[in-house]
Amino acid sequence: MHEASIMQNVFDLACDRMRAESATRIVRVRLRVGALAGVVPEALAFAFEAMRAGTPAALAEIEFERVPARLVCRACQREFEPDGFPDACPCCGSWNVDVRHGHELDLVLVEFARED
């Protein structure tokens, strides 16, 4: 499953950062997910919940910042939010468009706790 392997990478990254901070527990993980990133946040959350048991992230919450798609028309430079993807420029009707936002898939925040 696509989302499970992505989540495994996020998980490893979060654990590396936790060790680098000399923390013992992961409290919160936040991902930025673009509408065109090709992943379903609910599936990422499901994968996260499946893999956190028995780890320093056992009680961690996962949050998502969803980034809507923004396209820019190469013909008239108009930037617009598409109804679907791909979509034509609402201004001039051109299909010659670039994706400006929507491909994001980033780990933006990991919160830790230290316990003695």
Q: Which residues contribute to the site for Zn ion (CB under 5 A)?
A: 73, 75-76, 78, 89, 91-92, 94
Rounded least distance, CB 35 to Zn ion, Å: 20
Rounded least distance, CB 9 to Zn ion, Å: 37
Rounded least distance, CB 78 to Zn ion, Å: 5
Q: Which is nearer to Zn ion, 57 or 97 (CB)?
A: 97
Q: Which is nearer to Zn ion, 57 or 73 (CB)?
A: 73
4, 40 Cβ separation under 8 angstroms = no
Number of Cα atoms under 13 Å in the Cβ half of residue 96? 6
Provide the CA 66 distance to its chain's centre, in angstroms. 7
Helix boundaries (H) for the chain: 2-20, 41-51
